[in-house]
Copies of this chain bind each other. A is one copy, B any other.
C-alpha cells in the first residue's frame, strides 16, 4: 500500500486482485479435475482450460502440475482450517488428543478432501522433491502442534517425562495414516479413541 503514488492510485491492488482471482481459479480447477478423473490424467492444459486462463499464466507461477497440486492442497487446508494454531489444552491429554484425531478422521473421510489428498500422498511417496515441500509446508507444522501439546502434558505431570514427544505423536498419527492410505479397515471415531487410549496406556499390563 505504501508504494502506491497519487498519480496512479491503485494499480497494485487491482493487479493483485486479478492475480489472486486467477490463482484461485487455477487451484479450484485443479482440485475439481483431480476429483473428476484423478491426478495422473491431470494436465496443465486441462487446468488452464477449466480455469479460463492461458497455460503461460500457470507456468509463470508453478513449475509443474505437482507444484499446483501442493498449492491446491494447501488452499483446501486453509479453507477447512478453524483458525486454531495450537491443539486444545483442557488439562485432559486423552480428551484433547481424541478431539483432534476425531477431527482428522472426519477430514480424511470427507469427499472433497479425498481425491486431492490421496493424489498428494501418492505423488509424495514417489517424488522426493514434492514430498520434502509437502512435509515442510504442511505436515511438520501440524506435527509440531502435537509435540507442543505432549510437552505441556509432560510439564503438567500427565505424561511420562522420559517419553519422546515426537515418537509419541507418530504412534497416534502413523496408525491413522496407515489405515487411511491403505484402506485396511474403517477409519472411525471409535478407532481414533482406541489409538489414543492405547498410545497413552501402552500394551503391557499396568
Contact = CB atoms under 8 A, between A and B. Distances in A.
Given A160-B204, A199-B202, A201-B204, A171 B181 contact: no
Given A123-B122, A125-B121, A178 B173 contact: yes
Nearest to A185: B166
Interface residues of A, number: 57
Number of chain copies forming the complex? 2
Contact of A177 (B119, B167, B174): B174
Given A134-B182, A150-B203, A177-B177, 16 more contacts: A122-B122, A132-B183, A140-B184, A160-B201, A164-B194, A164-B198, A166-B185, A168-B198, A170-B195, A171-B199, A174-B176, A177-B178, A198-B202, A199-B202, A200-B202, A202-B202
